Structure 1
Amino acid sequence: MIRGARADLPVLLFVPGSPGGSELRAMRERLAALEQRFVVVTMDRRGGARSFGALDPTPTFTVANETRNVLDVTEYLRTRFRRDKILLVAHSGGTIGATLAVQESPGYFAAYVGVGQVADPTASDRTQYADTLAWARAHGDGELVARLTQVGPPPYTNIYGYEPMILNEDRVYGTDNGDALIENAEAPELGALEKVHVLSGFLDSFDAYYPRVRSIDFKSQVPALGVPVYFVAGDREVPARVRDLGLWNAVLKAPRKELVTLKNAGHRSMFDQPAAFVALMERIRDAS
């Protein structure tokens, strides 16, 4: 989806968070103000919504492939809009391929913005598992305790191990992320079957892709990025993710780096606080 007030505005590419992710409706409705300042390009990640047909063959659904997808779209946009550089924004799991794309081809990008940035997913998931188990015990949720005990700590080989943590994240941390799939499944840009694939694409893509990120640890794998870097976190983000991002950010070398916390926001902080996020993007644009 490509939207903007004028074709000569700076180009912003947004990479959604979840495997098979689609954020067409959320980007158009909640961050419409960006379209007055940028040509806003929102891609569906492989395996989701309009890209569901690209799910197979799943053996090629790798971190390297996700990185290449970001670079392919970037190259297309640089050619179409005759830009040397674009601004790259990614969310959550989409930050993995986006970060590695910036590492591989820094000359393509004016700046990189990681929202809910992933740094060490296995370490973060293990702490979230412990948090969820402690919460379930404290609140007398025997069924959740039993499910978590049965699957044991992550990482897991399929989505079903992660399911108890995913479904209970809002309860444990007091966030409100659970309606994201439903919201984007109602995007009018999508046909009936594509709307179904917002949910089925998430399930199938998560199952195929997420186990392959278990070895990601940007502290050692990405010691430097050759562009200005901005990390955005909500103040109600899962604490382990913020901790692991902080550990990476402390050693990361970049021409400029900044960690921004949005108040009253969770994992999808740019959608929770759109005005604050738009103001930040204006500042980043002016500095680039």
Structure 2
Amino acid sequence: MACSHASATWAWCLFQFNAISMKKELQMNKQNKLGGCMIFLLIPILLLVGFVLVSQWTAHTPAILGADGQPLSGSIASLEKIKLGGVDQWLIIRGYDVNKPVLLFLSGGPGASEAARVLRFNSELEKHFVVVIWEQRGCGKSYPSLNPKSDLTVDQYVADLIELTDILRERFDEQKIYLVGHSWGTIIGVRAAQQRPDLFHAYVGTAQMVDVRETDEMIYEMVLEHSRKTGDTAFVQTLEKQGPPPYFGKSPIQPYATLFGREYALYEAPNIKDPEYRRDGDILMLMLKQPEYGWLDRLYYLLGLMNTFNAVYPQLQEMDFRVDAARLDLPVYIVLGRHDMNNPYQLPEEYFNLLEAPNKQLIFFENSGHGMIWEEASLFHRLMVETVLPEAYR
């Protein structure tokens, strides 16, 4: 009996040992499977992070090449970060001859970068100017300078612009530079030209803004009328529900996007005749091929469109250059697209007529809209090289 009892005890112990061993083995298998899944998930994440970081580190602007395929002597092709207003901001600088006059381009927005379109459609200007494309704070490559948002004011953008102009004047040994603004860029361009006309050979306002609130109200009425005529009752209801601009709140870009998106689709696109622009003008597709941008910069571009716009656009509702900037003490060239429905030409034309300036010209591009400098790029190049450059360079 003792022997049987001992055998039973031994068998029970052996059973418990096997059970514990099996349990540990199951736990280990589970942990191994979990670890395998973690590794399986972690590897593509690490590869993606590495890919994004490499794209940022290798971002560059291509060298300007001579006939021999080598970098052209005396040219400049630079992608660089500088401090403006105490924060990092980016510049793209390109020119066939570093001794040519400097042209500073101010992108539209607020919150957008138009570098991709300038690089694609306006490269001809690099033969006659040192072209500087400024990625403004909170935009594109300079998106991280968004914080603190309290610095995203029109006055701060103008201060950044004047500081940048002084840096460029000193660097390229020029007393003055050319200032070209597009859309939102014309707002800070006019303000800078008003404050420091001594810094600029000339101011060129393309799609010149005058009174943002009145312009947006005009767009609302035009789109609403068109939607009624075409029987788009659903969109009429959408517009009537959100009401006319201005829009405020946490995310004003949403109702503005609804309005502007329909306005572009209904009015502007059919009037753009240039097949090259119609084929290659999409800013997002251009940006995907832009070597100056890494993948994080492309994300920054989208974030800037939302967050910087939301912070800055509501500040523009009380401006009216017919009152605030009726005199500019430098040569002024206002360039308008005849079919621009994002900024209808009536207000800029009215502003031009009352503007006092030592020399002023109003130029219409007949086959383009809001982006006339890309939609009719060859006309813009001729204007800059054959008119603005010889008339204003001193």
TM-score (norm 1): 0.96
Between the aligned partners of 2:311 and 2:145, the Cα distance in structure 1 is 12
Greater Cα radius of gyration, structure 1 or 2? 2
Deviation at 1:239, TM superposition (A): 7.9
Residue number in structure 2 paired with 1:286: 390
Q: Deviations over 1:175-234 (max 9, x none)?
A: 269833443354221111001111221111111110100011000000100110001011
Residue number in structure 2 paired with 1:272: 375
Q: Deviations over 1:229-283 (max 9, x none)?
A: 0010111112863111122111110011111011211100000011110000012
8 A contact 1:19–1:46 mirrored in 2 = no
Residue number in structure 2 paired with 1:100: 191
Between the aligned partners of 1:109 and 1:71, the Cα distance in structure 2 is 10
Between the aligned partners of 2:214 and 2:288, the Cα distance in structure 1 is 31
Deviation at 1:60, TM superposition (A): 2.0
Is residue 142 of structure 2 the alignment partner of residue 39 of structure 1?
A: no
Residue number in structure 2 paired with 1:215: 318
Q: 1:147 aligns with which of 229, 232, 238?
A: 238
Is residue 175 of structure 2 the alignment partner of residue 72 of structure 1?
A: no
Letter in 1 for 2:323: S
Between the aligned partners of 2:168 and 2:321, the Cα distance in structure 1 is 27
Residue number in structure 2 paired with 1:30: 121
Between the aligned partners of 2:232 and 2:103, the Cα distance in structure 1 is 44
* Aligned-pair identity (%): 34
Residue number in structure 1 paired with 2:361: 258
- Which structure 1 residue ranges, 5 or more long, are not aligned? none
Residue number in structure 2 paired with 1:165: 259
TM-score (norm 2): 0.71
8 A contact 2:263–2:342 mirrored in 1 = no
Between the aligned partners of 2:93 and 2:342, the Cα distance in structure 1 is 34
Is residue 237 of structure 2 the alignment partner of residue 237 of structure 1?
A: no
8 A contact 2:342–2:370 mirrored in 1 = no
Residue number in structure 1 paired with 2:33: none
Deviation at 1:174, TM superposition (A): 3.1
Aligned residues: 288
Between the aligned partners of 1:43 and 1:13, the Cα distance in structure 2 is 7
Letter in 2 for 1:204: N
Between the aligned partners of 1:136 and 1:58, the Cα distance in structure 2 is 37
Is residue 328 of structure 2 the alignment partner of residue 225 of structure 1?
A: yes
Letter in 1 for 2:215: S
Q: Tell me, what secondary structure is at the counterpart of 2:258? A: helix
Distance 1:181 1:227, change over 3 A: farther
Q: Deviations over 1:36-76 (max 9, x none)?
A: 00000001122111110011211221111121121121111
Between the aligned partners of 1:180 and 1:174, the Cα distance in structure 2 is 16
Q: Tell me, what secondary structure is at the counterpart of 1:43? A: strand
8 A contact 1:24–1:189 mirrored in 2 = no
Q: Tell me, what secondary structure is at the counterpart of 1:127? A: helix
Q: Which has the higher contact order (CA 8 A, sep 6+)?
A: 1
